[in-house]
């Protein structure tokens, strides 16, 4: 069933419910054996896109191709995709074995072949002891494994995972995350996972598709998304805690790089070429916490007041307020002695900072050659 | 233990809340039931005369050809009505289980017959079935056939009663099936679609197993109900011709209120009671034995 090298292509996919546009010209090309995460808040269109690929929703325009075939007109069962549903959607009256066999029986796969495949999938997922039970007799984690087994056994060209970890508790979630990563190593299929959890997306995916407001905001590797967000939405949505966006005015320095004067008068030099900004000088300076160090107050640098300290053990985040009321998040070591209300100084490293124009578009320093 | 101190009054309060219902239940159901059983062992009339008769009434039932005929009629009606009614109402529910406005209108139309009294229902079907000028007769004549004597041919009276009953009883089972269908999670159908299942396979492997509980409920309710069929038979054919369409309850009614043999009638009623209990119990056991009904 699976054709190695098959990859998914979305070409200008559009979808509307009545007058409400939910997807507005979405295009994406996936490499073979790639793991892509659709990341976005509720209502961003990511689930709709997944369901369009699965064939559970029709599209109003554009094309979906998988490998050499155009699949957007095919029935869901003919697309060579398998889906793991958010609430598992196991058939409650069938045993685990029958749940897994159902799709293959419909595809007229010989009984011996079905039995072999079930045995193999059950062994790798460690659900051999559960094969004769009904879904109602299984725990949430076991149901999840059966749901994954039901997808694996079809040996599809593309796995579709709809929020696969959202119904599991924290310990099980980490374990299943590892298992999904291992599953991915064992097959030459491609994966698409819908999630609103950036940690899942960052750890599992080769590339992340950040969606918001009916459109793809950015496509990139996890590190690209994190280090070079395409716009202020991606900058705020990815990263914990979120990137600080501090309003300021951009001017050029002697080398042609933008320097940003913040509301309290302090100036941060960046490596973003000033020419990239055009004449747009009302900007926001984007700073990850690790670019802002917490130092003793006084002599040089930016002065602020600590309003919240998050201690994570190995490191701490200090939420600080500048004189003009702008909040900036700084990082410090695990033994951070800052208390709420303390005066602190901050050393801002502008070399990796991003500058966001008034329309939210990000400008970054030129990538190192 | 402070709990014990409060337990007794709390229990009394509990009893006080259920007492009104319990009183009605005992006086309107339990007492008549026990009285009926008691009367069935007597030779009794409607004026209160009682004479102990032991098992005489039951012995008489065992050899009464009129009672046997009515038992046969009741079985025939039940066997005719329950499967057809179940199939039709399930099909209707499947067809009308969609959010469209037209589906809501049709649900209302198909349910409407259930709110009519048996008298009206029978009247309507007399107009349809009567051989001189009825709707069925006119249709048959239009296609060149002779009108069928639905209400006087011994072979046709039971089907006539069955058709009337099915039309009258569509509403409740259809609503039960619709409720059952709406309980089925939508993602099961999506999973089935991705598993390549279509039409009949989806119905047989996803819909029908999910409706098992509803199906059992409908069949048990209808069996219990149709074994007690009465009004349609009395008003449509009067049990005739020659008792060919007389069900058990009509037999009981005629014996009790026509011939005033209350003891004999209550004995027949006890037989019917045990029959209903046994048949519905058997159905439940057949299903529950395989797996618990959820």
User: For residue B183, is pLDDT > 80?
Assistant: yes
- Two tokens at B199? 């039409």
Q: How far is B289 from chain A (nearest CA, A)?
A: 15
Averaged over B221-227, what is the pLDDT?
92
Chain B contact for A70 (CB, 8 A cutoff) = no
> Which of B3-7, B121-125, B242-246 is the least confident region?
B3-7
Residue B150 CB partners (closer than 8 Å, separation 6+): B129, B130, B131, B134, B136, B156, B157, B159, B160
Residues of B in contact with A150 (CB under 8 A): 191
User: Is the CB of residue B193 less than 8 Å away from at least one CB of chain A?
Assistant: yes
Count of Cβ atoms closer than 10 Å to residue A275 Cβ: 11
Mutation site for A-interface testing, chosen from B191, B205, B206 by largest number of A Cβ within 10 Å: B191
Terminal-residue alpha carbon distance, chain A? 43
pLDDT of residue A134: 92
Chain B residues close to A75, C-beta within 8 Å: 193, 196, 198
Angstroms from A69 CA to nearest CA on chain B: 17
> Which candidate, B233, B214, B209, B44, places its Cα nearest to that of B151?
B233
CA distance A297 to B100: 69
Q: What is the pLDDT of residues B21-67, one digit of tens each?
A: 999 999 999 999 999 898 889 888 877 778 888 888 898 888 889 99
Residue whose tokens read 């500058």: A355
Residue-level pLDDT at B294: 42
| pLDDT value at residue B293 | 43
Q: Nearest by CB to B196, from A91, A94, A107: name it.
A: A107
Q: Are A77 and B193 in contact (CB under 8 A)?
A: yes
**Phi, psi (5° rounding) for residue B250?**
-65, -40
Q: By three-state DSSP, how is residue A228 classified?
A: coil
Whether the predicted interface score ipTM is above 0.85: no
The arithmetic mean of pLDDT across residues B92-107, rounded, is 88
Chain B contact present for A219, CB below 8 A: no
Between CA B279 and CA B287, with CA B285 as vertex, the angle to 5 degrees is 110
The answer, yes or no, to whether residue B207 has pLDDT greater than 90, is yes
pLDDT at B141: 84
Rounded to whole angstroms, how far apart are CA atoms B126 and B119? 10
Close Cβ partners of A168 (under 8 Å, ≥ 6 residues apart): A140, A141, A144, A176
- Binary contact (A89, B188; C-beta < 8 A): yes
* Phi and psi at residue A38, to the nearest 5°: -90, 115
Q: Which pLDDT score is estimated for B291?
A: 58
Q: How far apart are CA A295 and CA A287, in angstroms?
A: 16
**pLDDT above 70 covers what percent of chain A?**
97
Residue B159 in this model has a pLDDT that exceeds 70: yes
**Model pLDDT for residues A102-161, shown as the tens digit of each residue:** 999 998 999 999 999 999 989 888 888 999 999 999 988 889 889 999 999 999 999 999
CB-nearest to B193 from A56, A90, A91 is A56
Closest among A151, A155, A15, A48 to A90, alpha carbons compared: A151
Contact between A202 and A222 under an 8 Å Cβ cutoff? The reply is: yes
- Does B198 sit within 8 Å of A93, measured CB to CB? no
DSSP string, A118-180: HHHHHHHHT-GGGTTS-GGGS-HHHHHHHHHHHHHTT--SEEEEESTTTTS-HHHHHHHHHHH
Taking alpha carbons only, the member of B204, B189, B98 closest to residue A77 is B189
Q: Which residues contact A366 (CB under 8 A, 6 or more apart)?
A: A271, A273
Quote the tokens at residue A173: 């979630």
DSSP, collapsed to helix, strand or coil, labels residue A211 as strand
Q: d(Cα A269, Cα A261) in Å, to the nearest integer? A: 9
Q: How far is B225 from chain A (nearest CA, A)?
A: 29
B190 neighbourhood in chain A, CB within 8 Å: 54, 56, 76, 83, 85, 89
- Exposed/middle/buried for residue B31 (C-beta within 10 Å: 0-12, 13-18, 19+): exposed
Distance of CA B66 to the CA centre of its chain: 22
Reduced to 3 states (helix: H, G, I; strand: E, B; else coil), residue A256 is coil
pLDDT for the residue numbered A218 = 93
Tokens standing for residue B144: 């060149």
Q: Say what percent of chain A tops pLDDT 90.
A: 38
Integer Cα distance of B278 and B276 in angstroms: 5
Selected residue with higher pLDDT from A337 and B71: B71
Beta pairing partners, A327 = A321
User: Cβ separation of A91 and B185 shorter than 8 Å?
Assistant: no
Q: Which segments in chain A show pLDDT lower than 50?
A: 1-4, 6, 369
Residue A21 has a pLDDT of 85
pLDDT mean across residues, chain B: 87
3-state secondary structure of A69: strand
A55 to chain B: closest CA residue: B194
Taking the Cβ of residue A83 and every Cβ of chain B, the question of whether any pair is shorter than 8 Å is answered with: yes
Q: What would the mean pLDDT of B283-288 be, rounded to a whole number?
A: 82
Answer whether A8's CB lies under 8 Å from A165's CB.
Answer: no
Closest by CA position to A222, among listed A209, A212, A233, A232: A209
pLDDT of residue A1: 41
Size of interface A-B (CB pairs under 8 A): 66
Residue B212 contacts A, CB cutoff 8 Å: yes
**What is the model's pLDDT at position B6?**
55
Q: What is the mean pLDDT of residues B190-212?
A: 91
Q: Is the pTM of this model over 0.90?
A: no
Look at residues B94, B97, B92 and name the one whose alpha carbon lies nearest to residue B166.
B92
Of B185, B196, B209, the CB nearest to A89: B185
User: What is the C-alpha to C-alpha distance for residues B82 and B279, in angstroms, rounded to an integer?
Assistant: 13
- C-alpha distances out from residue A123 to A242, B135, B147, Å: 42, 67, 70
Residues of A in contact with B195 (CB under 8 A): 77, 102-103, 106
Instruction: Return the pLDDT at B7.
Output: 62
The answer to whether the bond into B241 is cis (omega within 30° of 0) is: yes
Tokens matching residue A49: 């896109």
SS3 content of chain A, % helix, strand, coil (to 5): 30, 35, 35
Comparing CB atoms, the residue among A76, A90, A107 nearest residue B193 is A76
Closest CA to A270 of A251, A243, A289: A251
Instruction: Name the CA radius of gyration of chain A, rounded.
Output: 25
Chain B residues near residue A93 by CB distance under 8 angstroms: 209-210, 212
Residue B51 is classified by DSSP as E
Q: Do B193 and A89 touch (CB under 8 A)?
A: no
Interchain contact, A106 vs B195, CB within 8 Å:
yes
Using DSSP bridges, classify how beta strands A302-311 and B50-52 pair: parallel, antiparallel or unpaired: unpaired
* Cβ-contact A7, A30 below 8 angstroms: yes
């Amino acid at each position: 069933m699976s054709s190695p090298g098959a990859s998914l292509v979305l070409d200008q996919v559009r979808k509307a419910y009545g007058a409400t546009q939910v997807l507005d010209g979405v295009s994406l090309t996936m490499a073979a054996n790639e793991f892509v995460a659709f990341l976005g808040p509720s209502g961003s269109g990511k689930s709709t896109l997944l369901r369009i690929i699965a064939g559970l929703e029709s599209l109003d325009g554009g094309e979906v191709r998988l490998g050499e075939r155009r699949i957007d007109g095919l029935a869901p069962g003919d697309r060579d995709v398998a889906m793991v549903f958010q609430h598992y959607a196991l058939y409650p009256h069938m045993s685990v074995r029958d749940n897994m066999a159902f799709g293959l029986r419909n595809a007229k796969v010989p009984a011996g072949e079905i039995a072999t495949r079930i045995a193999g999938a059950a062994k790798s997922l460690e659900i051999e002891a559960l094969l004769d039970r009904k879904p109602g007799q299984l725990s949430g984690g076991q149901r999840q494994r059966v749901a994954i087994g039901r997808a694996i056994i079809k040996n599809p060209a593309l796995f579709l995972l709809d929020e696969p970890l959202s119904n599991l508790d924290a310990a099980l979630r980490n374990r299943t995350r590892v298992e999904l990563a291992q599953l991915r190593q064992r097959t030459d299929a491609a994966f698409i996972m819908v999630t609103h959890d950036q940690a899942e997306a960052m750890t599992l995916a080769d590339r992340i598709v950040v969606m918001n407001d009916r459109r793809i905001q950015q496509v990139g590797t996890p590190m690209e998304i994190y280090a070079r967000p395409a716009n202020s939405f991606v900058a705020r949505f990815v990263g914990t805690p979120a990137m600080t966006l501090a309003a300021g005015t951009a001017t050029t320095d002697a080398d042609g790089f933008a320097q940003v004067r913040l509301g309290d008068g302090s100036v941060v030099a960046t490596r973003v070429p000033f020419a990239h900004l055009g004449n747009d000088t009302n900007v926001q300076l984007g700073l990850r916490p690790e670019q802002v160090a917490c130092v003793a107050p006084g002599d040089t640098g930016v002065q602020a007041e600590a309003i919240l300290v998050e201690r994570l053990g190995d490191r701490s985040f200090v939420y600080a307020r500048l004189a003009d009321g702008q909040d900036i998040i700084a990082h410090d070591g695990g033994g951070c002695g800052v208390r709420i209300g303390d005066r602190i100084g901050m050393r801002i490293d502008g070399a990796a900072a991003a500058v966001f124009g008034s329309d939210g578009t990000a400008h970054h320093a030129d990538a190192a050659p | 233990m402070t709990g014990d101190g409060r337990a007794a009054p709390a229990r009394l309060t509990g009893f006080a809340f259920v007492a009104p219902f319990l009183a009605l239940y005992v006086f309107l159901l339990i007492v008549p039931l026990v009285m009926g059983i008691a009367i069935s062992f007597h030779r009794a009339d409607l004026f209160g005369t009682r004479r102990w008769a032991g098992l005489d009434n039951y012995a008489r039932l065992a050899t009464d050809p009129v009672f046997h005929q009515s038992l046969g009629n009741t079985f025939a009606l039940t066997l005719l009505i329950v499967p057809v009614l179940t199939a039709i109402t399930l099909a209707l529910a499947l067809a009308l289980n969609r959010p469209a406005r037209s589906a809501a209108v049709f649900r209302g139309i198909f349910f409407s017959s259930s709110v009519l009294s048996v008298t009206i229902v029978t009247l309507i079907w007399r107009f349809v079935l009567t051989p001189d000028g009825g709707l069925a007769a006119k249709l048959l004549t239009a296609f060149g056939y002779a009108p069928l004597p639905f209400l006087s041919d011994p072979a046709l009276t039971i089907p006539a009663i069955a058709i009337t009953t099915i039309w009258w009883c569509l509403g409740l089972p259809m609503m039960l099936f619709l409720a059952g269908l709406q309980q089925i999670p939508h993602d099961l159908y999506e999973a089935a679609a991705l598993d390549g299942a279509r039409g009949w396979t989806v119905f047989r492997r996803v819909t029908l197993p999910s409706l098992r509980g509803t199906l059992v409920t409908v069949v048990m309710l209808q069996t219990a109900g149709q074994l007690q069929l009465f009004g349609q038979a009395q008003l449509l054919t009067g049990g005739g011709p020659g008792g060919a369409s007389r069900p058990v309850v009509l037999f009981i009614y005629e014996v009790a209120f026509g011939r005033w043999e209350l003891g004999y009638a209550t004995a027949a009623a006890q037989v019917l009671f045990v029959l209903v209990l046994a048949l519905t119990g058997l159905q439940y056991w057949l299903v529950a034995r395989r797996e618990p009904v959820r």
